[in-house]
């Protein structure tokens, strides 16, 4: 498996989870060092209704053609409760299990969740980015902090998400007439570069294509198992 950096237990209480986030924040790097991007990945989890099963998928695509190179997935029980700000402790264990099954690792990942637009700057994308030591971008469908600012309707229009006096992300219009995405850097990337890579991967849809495919495939796998 491509190197995990700092590690920590997952079977923790909510209070312990917050302490872990605060400690991991020290490892965050919010600068772009111009790595070569040959492969981009998308990571998402689908839940089975009426069950504690989660289906985690990682899709890897070539850049810039966005041709699918590989997919890995896993199914497992989710034991951590849903608590805003602690989504990582529900989803990351499954996503990391799927990651371990990849044959070709991405150079950049798009994550369905927050990056630093989070009360402790440690949303799912930031957390995974630190653990995997990879550039990561949070692409959330709803904001967690920073309000819900008004955004112009042209592709590329954006409005800042400001939390505690700091710009932590943007509401970004990736497609006219469609609700914006809430973009924030995760790890080893800055906000301007995050916007660049999101727009570059949003070809005909609201979501970056690797993330869109991960979302589709997670739902397909769950449905194929009768969930």
Which domains occur in the chain, in start order?
14-224 (3.30.2170.10)
**Chain segment 124-160, per-residue pLDDT in tens:** 999 999 999 999 999 999 999 999 999 999 999 999 9
Q: In a 3-state reduction of DSSP, which class is residue 60?
A: strand
E strands present in 48-148: 53-62, 68-77, 108-111, 136-140
**Chain segment 50-104, per-residue pLDDT in tens:** 778 999 999 999 999 999 999 999 999 998 999 999 999 999 999 999 999 999 9
Give the span between the Cα atoms of 177 and 180, in whole angstroms.
Answer: 9
Give the span between the Cα atoms of 227 and 222, in whole angstroms.
Answer: 5
Angle between helices 191-201 and 209-224 (to 10 degrees): 60
Percent of the chain with pLDDT over 70: 97
Contact 190, 30 (CB under 8 A): yes
Q: Output the pLDDT for position 1.
A: 43
**Residue from 179, 176, 110, 120 nearest 144 by CA:** 120
Give the span between the Cα atoms of 159 and 150, in whole angstroms.
Answer: 7
**Chain segment 155-199, per-residue pLDDT in tens:** 999 999 999 999 999 999 999 999 999 999 999 999 999 999 999
Q: Output the pLDDT for position 49.
A: 78
Torsion over CA: 191, 196, 199, 202 (sign)? negative
Tabulate helix, strand, coil % of the chain (nearest 5).
30, 25, 45
Dihedral of the CA atoms 175, 169, 25, 105 (nearest 10)?
A: 20
Confidence of residue 226 (pLDDT cuts 50, 70, 90): low
Give the span between the Cα atoms of 32 and 189, in whole angstroms.
Answer: 4
Strand 158-163, strand 166-172: pairing: antiparallel
């Amino acid at each position: 498996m491509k190197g995990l950096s700092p590690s920590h237990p997952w079977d923790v209480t909510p209070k312990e989870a917050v302490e872990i986030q605060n400690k991991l924040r020290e490892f965050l790097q919010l600068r772009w060092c111009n790595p070569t991007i040959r492969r981009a990945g998308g990571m998402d989890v689908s839940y089975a209704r009426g069950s504690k099963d989660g289906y985690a998928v990682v899709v890897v695509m070539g850049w810039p053609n966005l041709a699918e190179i590989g997919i890995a997935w896993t199914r497992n029980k989710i034991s951590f409760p849903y608590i805003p700000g602690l989504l990582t402790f529900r989803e990351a264990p499954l996503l990391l299990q799927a990651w371990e099954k990849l044959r070709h690792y991405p150079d950049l990942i798009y994550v369905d969740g927050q990056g630093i637009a989070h009360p402790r700057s440690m949303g799912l994308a930031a957390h995974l980015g630190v653990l995997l030591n990879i550039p990561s971008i949070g692409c959330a469908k709803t904001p967690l902090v920073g309000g819900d600012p008004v955004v112009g309707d042209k592709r590329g229009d954006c409005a800042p998400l400001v939390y505690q006096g700091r710009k932590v992300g943007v509401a970004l219009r990736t497609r006219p007439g469609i609700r914006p995405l809430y973009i924030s850097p995760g790890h080893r990337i800055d906000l301007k570069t995050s916007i660049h890579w999101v727009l570059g991967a949003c070809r005909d849809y609201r979501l970056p294509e690797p993330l869109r495919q991960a979302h589709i495939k997670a739902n397909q796998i769950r449905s194929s198992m009768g969930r």
